[in-house]
């Protein structure tokens, strides 16, 4: 079709480029879709009717504003038939109906009349408005897309728009290429001499005609879609794309070199200074990022929202990766855009479990309590804004009667997918995340009170940092971004997905690097609130992309009208929001790895729950712990022995350590090293003392809650060992044994414990009066009132009762003999019953817990029962150490006297 004049120069250039015919390669439609032919094998015989479907019409410059083909008063076919469409085609705005043209296979036609139609004034006005807006039509012939314009505007030599002339094309030429029994190619052109004048508001008689010409070609059927992808693979286009790749790679290399040079040099200097200036460090105050090691792993504010953002971002990242995989294997060939929408809906629904698992797991790691609320927030964080945007835009489309308005049935299908697939998978993922029992890996302990952030200059604020973080990644993709916009919101064809995937990888790398750099400078300024900052900086590229939308709309496109404008900015807001979430998790994950790495490399990693126990220990107890942790162990897994063979065989001596603190640090590091499993060892993670206790609880199958405090977990393990292995020892002497044994022998102790159990149960039944005190021969005075005071000071009175019994019984037996120990324990059980601790007393009356028994005899039977399931964890030492830690904590925290030789 001839386009002789134009209102604007830009439109003239575009029309000239379009050429004289509305062929497939000319006006390249954005939102076309691959129509499934009625003949599945695409083979025809001469005279067979090849299916031709009319799809839609709309303004050339407004790709979202499309209408049904017969919304314009074209000739109707004898039998109007609507084609059943897939979900992706409906979402794409396709509305396929049978066309009035009959194109039989290998049947030429010349000026075949479709119909003679008398257009009313209203129909003339409708056609005239469509011609003025450059309306085009779209059809599909045997799955091949075709386009053409419905008319033209004659503006030559006329400055006043009122003098323009409007013409409707009456005659269409179909040029079809075939290879044997298959259709290979179809082109459409209009006859510039067959025109109907629509300038005046009057009735017009129009005779619609069409011509069909068949020509043979040697192009194989398998290659018939190649012509649609050639436009994006032309040499000059590929040069531009590769220039974009090279530009982005140079940016990555420069940024990588800059960050590696600066960060490694600065960090190396920091590490050296921190590691070797021990003497001066005691007299100098820490500065920079080391100064805030007690706050850097403090959980962020609004952690439920933060975890939900991580979950949604991870889901969108997974969705993007899967879409790239499908594109690279050739699923999204040109004009099969319906498949893209279908894939987006299905993959998003199937990956919702990833969002639920990631969000809930991380939320529980941050010690969040309301995981159900977090799960609901995760499900609505992205879908909520998208749903609101869809409701508004769908209402606009309904008002315009456009094909972008989804039918009610399609909306019901989407709701069912959300209800039956997305939501259940989200819940299942959330439950799995909650039950994962993962602990946040923090190499540094967090102080009780947050450190005040010093005043910072304006350019270290959140918004300036986001501007810097978003500019570099955007500069790496902005050239490719134009082609993507021209394809999504224009008429270019984009098929070089490999280049697009390379650009995506570059985007991820630049985002990660720039976020790490800004995080380091933030920490160096003693600003420890980096969690949200790293996420916002990583996602800020999405804001730059939305800013590019403004530039593209006003400077690079001819879009106009309320509907097209609202669709463009509405859906691009959702897309950019998705990019914000996806790149936000990339930035945060990169920053988290970096922060863990640098803080793991310095000596700030005191465990907040293990270190205090070691500091309570006496010197002799520390050396006993040293023997346990560094002595030979025949139960160490091979991985641990190979990983640190020198440490396994090394036994520290007093001359090697000048100070007690160094000794404690060595013991702490050694314990956590031995406690790390293979996964933690290979990743370089340092487990916390609580993680170790939870792991031991799992391995020993101790029936207690994982939400107990660290001290209570320690005591539960302590008492579990006492119950199980003292019970095994009691089996040495049958209950029928009536003969008294030497009071210093283990048999005598077992006999005494059996008596204690019997008399304790009897005491609970009788409920005798409270015993005020017991005199210990050869020792000081222990009152049961003291025991009760300890019980009252802590809810877990059962622990204190048992601990007190431990120490007193040990002292009594050593100084007063077996009978005094039996008498004391019976009265302690009586007291427990009197004070309303019947349940606790019943539980602990069954514990035959004589510490002397569990010294040399315990570990032989214990290690025979332990099955080492977690490769790399040295239970032979770990459990002995935990047993010792519990005794130290009990005897020191509650001021119970101890003897160094008896505690361990």
Question: Are residues 170 and 309 both part of a single domain?
Answer: no
pLDDT of residue 663: 81
Distance of CA 727 to the CA centre of its chain: 48
CB < 8 Å & 24+ apart, contacts of 681-689: 681/639, 681/640, 681/643, 681/872, 684/597, 684/600, 685/441, 685/596, 686/441, 686/443, 686/600, 686/605, 687/439, 687/441, 688/439, 688/441, 688/442, 688/607, 688/609, 688/610, 689/607, 689/609, 689/610
Helix (H), strand (E), coil (C) string for 712-734? HHHHHHHHHHHHHHHHHHHCCCC
CA pair distance 540, 468, nearest whole angstrom: 9
Q: What is the pLDDT of residues 387-396, one digit of tens each?
A: 999 999 999 9
DSSP secondary structure, 742-808, as one string: -TTSHHHHHHHHHHHHHHHHHHHHHTPPPP-EEEPTTS-EEEHHHHHHHHHT-S-HHHHHHHHHHHH
Is residue 501 situated within a structural domain?
Answer: yes
DSSP secondary structure, 677-711, as one string: -HHHHHHT----HHHHHHHHHHHHT--S-TTS-HH
User: Last residue of a domain, which of 379, 409, 441?
Assistant: 441
CA pair distance 105, 627, nearest whole angstrom: 92
CA pair distance 890, 884, nearest whole angstrom: 10
- Nearest CA among 761, 858, 840 for reference residue 803: 840
Residue linked to tokens 């501007």: 467
CA pair distance 644, 173, nearest whole angstrom: 81
User: Last residue of a domain, which of 441, 474, 489?
Assistant: 441
How would you classify residue 872: left for phi > 0, otherwise alpha for psi between -120 and 50, otherwise beta?
A: left
For 664-674, letters b (16+ CB in 10 Å) and e give bbbbbbbbbbb
Contact indicator for 686, 441 with CB cutoff of 8 Å: yes
Is residue 754 situated within a structural domain?
Answer: yes
Is residue 150 situated within a structural domain?
Answer: yes
CA pair distance 686, 169, nearest whole angstrom: 76
Q: What is the DSSP letter of 507?
A: H
Is residue 652 situated within a structural domain?
Answer: no
619-630 vs 660-675: helix axis angle to the nearest 10?
A: 30
Contact indicator for 165, 153 with CB cutoff of 8 Å: yes
Question: Are residues 285 and 420 both part of a single domain?
Answer: no
Domain count, the chain: 4
Question: Are residues 80 and 122 both part of a single domain?
Answer: yes
Question: Are residues 468 and 594 both part of a single domain?
Answer: yes
Q: Which residues contact 771 (CB under 8 A, 6 or more apart)?
A: 784, 827, 830, 831
Question: Are residues 271 and 308 both part of a single domain?
Answer: no
CA pair distance 121, 198, nearest whole angstrom: 10
Write out the two tokens for 567: 């669709």
Is residue 610 situated within a structural domain?
Answer: no
Element (H, E) at 405: none
Contact indicator for 145, 28 with CB cutoff of 8 Å: no
Question: Are residues 522 and 489 both part of a single domain?
Answer: yes
CA pair distance 828, 833, nearest whole angstrom: 9
Is residue 198 situated within a structural domain?
Answer: yes
Which parts of the chain sit beneath pLDDT 70? 1-40, 229-238, 241, 262-287, 334-335, 337, 601-607, 631-659, 677-686, 721-876, 893-904
Q: What is the DSSP letter of 138?
A: E
CA pair distance 277, 498, nearest whole angstrom: 52
Helix (H, G, I), strand (E, B) or coil at 662: helix
Residue linked to tokens 């985002």: 511
How would you classify residue 401: left for phi > 0, otherwise alpha for psi between -120 and 50, otherwise beta?
A: left
- Nearest CA among 788, 780, 777 for reference residue 827: 788
Question: Are residues 293 and 433 both part of a single domain?
Answer: no
Q: Measure CA of the first residue to CA of the last residue in the chain; give whole Å.
A: 97
Q: Note down the domain range covering 844.
A: 731-866
Q: What is the pLDDT of residues 843-885, one digit of tens each?
A: 333 333 333 333 333 333 333 233 233 334 556 678 778 878 8
CA pair distance 725, 718, nearest whole angstrom: 11
Contact indicator for 245, 499 with CB cutoff of 8 Å: yes
Question: Are residues 256 and 306 both part of a single domain?
Answer: no
Question: Are residues 401 and 492 both part of a single domain?
Answer: no
Write out the two tokens for 208: 């619609």
Is residue 722 situated within a structural domain?
Answer: no
How many C-beta atoms lie closer than 10 Å to residue 881's C-beta?
22
Is residue 892 situated within a structural domain?
Answer: no
User: Last residue of a domain, which of 573, 604, 635?
Assistant: 604
Question: Are residues 254 and 376 both part of a single domain?
Answer: no
Contact indicator for 87, 345 with CB cutoff of 8 Å: yes
Q: What is the DSSP letter of 421?
A: I
DSSP secondary structure, 192-245, as one string: TT-EEE-SSSS-EEEEEEEEEEEEE----GGGTTHHHHHGGGSHHHHHHHHHHH
CA pair distance 597, 615, nearest whole angstrom: 27
The model scores a pTM over 0.85: no
CB < 8 Å & 24+ apart, contacts of 326-334: 327/497, 327/500, 327/501, 328/497, 328/498, 328/501, 332/497, 333/34, 333/225, 333/229, 333/495, 334/225, 334/228, 334/229, 334/493, 334/495
Contact indicator for 530, 598 with CB cutoff of 8 Å: no
User: Which residue(s) pair with 97 in the sheet?
Assistant: 54, 82
- Nearest CA among 743, 763, 898 for reference residue 825: 763
CA pair distance 348, 351, nearest whole angstrom: 5
Question: Are residues 218 and 320 both part of a single domain?
Answer: no
CB < 8 Å & 24+ apart, contacts of 819-826: 819/752, 820/776, 820/777, 821/752, 821/756, 822/752, 822/755, 822/756, 822/759, 823/774, 824/774, 824/776, 825/756, 825/759, 825/760, 826/756, 826/759, 826/760, 826/763
Question: Are residues 487 and 530 both part of a single domain?
Answer: yes
Half-sphere exposure of residue 414: CA atoms within 13 angstroms, side-chain side: 19
Backbone angles phi, psi at 148, to 5 degrees: -170, 155
Half-sphere exposure of residue 628: CA atoms within 13 angstroms, side-chain side: 26
CA pair distance 112, 210, nearest whole angstrom: 5
């Amino acid at each position: 079709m001839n386009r002789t004049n134009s209102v604007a120069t830009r439109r003239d250039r575009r029309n000239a480029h379009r050429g004289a015919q509305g062929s497939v390669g000319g006006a390249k439609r954005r939102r076309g879709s691959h129509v499934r032919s009625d003949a599945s094998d695409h083979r025809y015989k001469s005279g067979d009717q090849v299916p031709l479907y009319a799809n839609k019409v709309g303004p050339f410059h407004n790709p979202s504003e499309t209408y049904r083909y017969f919304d314009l008063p074209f000739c109707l076919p004898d039998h109007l038939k609507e084609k059943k469409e897939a979900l992706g085609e409906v979402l794409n705005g396709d509305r396929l109906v049978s066309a009035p043209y009959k194109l039989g296979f290998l049947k030429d036609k010349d000026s075949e009349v479709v119909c003679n139609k008398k257009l009313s004034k209203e129909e003339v006005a409708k056609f005239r408005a469509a011609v003025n807006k450059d309306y085009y039509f779209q059809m599909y012939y045997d799955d091949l897309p075709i386009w053409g314009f419905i008319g033209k505007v004659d503006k030559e030599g006329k400055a006043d728009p009122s003098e323009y002339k409007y013409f409707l094309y009456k005659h269409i030429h179909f040029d079809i290429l075939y290879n044997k029994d298959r259709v290979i190619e179809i082109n459409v052109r209009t006859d510039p001499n067959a025109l109907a004048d629509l300038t005046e508001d009057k009735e017009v008689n129009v005779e619609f005609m069409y011509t069909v010409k068949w020509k043979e070609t040697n192009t194989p059927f398998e290659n018939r879609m190649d012509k649609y992808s050639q436009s994006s693979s032309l040499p000059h286009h590929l040069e531009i794309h590769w220039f974009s790749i090279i530009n982005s790679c140079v940016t990555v290399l420069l940024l990588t070199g800059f960050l590696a040079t600066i960060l490694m040099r600065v960090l190396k200097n920091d590490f050296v200074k921190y590691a070797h200036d021990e003497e001066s460090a005691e007299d100098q105050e820490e500065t920079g990022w080391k100064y805030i090691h007690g706050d850097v792993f403090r959980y962020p504010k609004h952690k439920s929202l933060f975890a939900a953002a991580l979950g949604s971002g991870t889901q969108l990242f997974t969705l993007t990766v899967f879409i790239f995989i499908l594109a690279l294997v050739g699923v999204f060939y040109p004009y099969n855009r319906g498949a893209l929408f279908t894939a987006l809906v299905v993959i998003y629904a199937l990956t919702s479990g990833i969002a639920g698992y990631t969000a809930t797991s991380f939320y529980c790691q941050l010690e969040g309590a309301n995981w159900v609320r977090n799960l609901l927030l995760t499900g609505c964080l992205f879908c909520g804004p998208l749903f609101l945007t869809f409701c508004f835009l769908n209402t606009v489309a309904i008002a315009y009667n456009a094909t972008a308005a989804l039918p009610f049935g399609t909306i019901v299908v989407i709701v069912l997918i959300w209800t039956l697939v997305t939501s259940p998978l989200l819940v299942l993922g959330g439950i799995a995340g909650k039950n994962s029992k993962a602990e946040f890996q923090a190499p540094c302990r967090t102080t009780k009170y947050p450190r005040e952030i010093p005043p910072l200059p304006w350019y270290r604020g959140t918004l300036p940092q986001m501007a810097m973080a978003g500019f570099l990644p955007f500069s790496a993709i902005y050239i490719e971004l134009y082609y993507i916009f021209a394809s999504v919101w224009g008429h270019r064809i984009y098929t070089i997905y490999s280049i697009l995937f390379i650009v995506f990888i570059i985007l991820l790398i630049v985002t990660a690097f720039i976020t790490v750099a800004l995080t380091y400078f933030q920490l160096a300024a003693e600003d420890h609130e980096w969690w949200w900052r790293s996420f916002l900086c990583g996602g800020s590229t999405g804001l730059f992309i939305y800013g590019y939308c403004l530039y593209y709309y006003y400077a690079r496109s001819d879009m106009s009208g309320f509907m097209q404008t609202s669709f463009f900015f509405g859906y691009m807001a959702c897309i950019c929001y998705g990019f914000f979430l996806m790149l936000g998790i990339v930035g945060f994950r990169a920053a988290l790895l970096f922060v863990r790495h640098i803080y793991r490399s310095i000596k700030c990693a005191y465990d907040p729950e293990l270190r205090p126990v070691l500091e309570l220990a006496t010197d002799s107890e520390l050396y006993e712990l040293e023997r346990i942790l560094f002595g030979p162990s025949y139960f160490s897994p091979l991985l641990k022995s190979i990983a640190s063979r020198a440490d396994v065989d090394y036994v520290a001596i007093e001359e090697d350590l000048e100070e007690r603190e160094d000794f404690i640090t060595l013991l702490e590091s050694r314990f956590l090293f031995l406690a790390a499993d293979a996964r933690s060892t290979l990743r370089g993670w340092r487990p916390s003392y609580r993680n170790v206790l939870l792991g031991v609880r799992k391995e020993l199958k101790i029936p207690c809650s994982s939400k107990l405090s660290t001290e209570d977990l320690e005591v539960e393990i302590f008492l579990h060992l006492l119950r199980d292995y003292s019970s095994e020892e009691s089996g040495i002497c049958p209950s029928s044994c009536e003969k008294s044994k030497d009071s210093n022998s283990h048999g005598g102790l077992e006999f005494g414990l059996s008596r204690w159990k019997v008399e304790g149960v009897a005491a609970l039944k009788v409920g005798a009066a409270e015993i005020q005190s017991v005199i210990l021969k050869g020792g000081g005075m222990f009152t049961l009132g003291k025991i009760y005071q300890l019980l009252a000071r802590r809810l877990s009175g059962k622990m204190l009762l048992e601990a007190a019994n431990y120490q007193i019984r040990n002292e009594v037996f050593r100084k007063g003999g077996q009978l005094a120990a039996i008498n004391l324990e019976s009265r302690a059980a009586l007291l427990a019953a009197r004070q309303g601790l019947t349940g606790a007393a019943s539980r602990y009356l069954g514990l035959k817990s004589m510490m002397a028994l569990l010294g040399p005899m315990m570990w032989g039977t214990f290690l025979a029962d332990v099955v080492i399931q977690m490769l790399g964890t040295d239970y032979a030492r770990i459990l002995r150490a935990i047993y010792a830690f519990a005794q130290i904590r009990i005897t020191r925290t509650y001021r119970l006297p101890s003897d160094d030789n008896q505690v361990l």
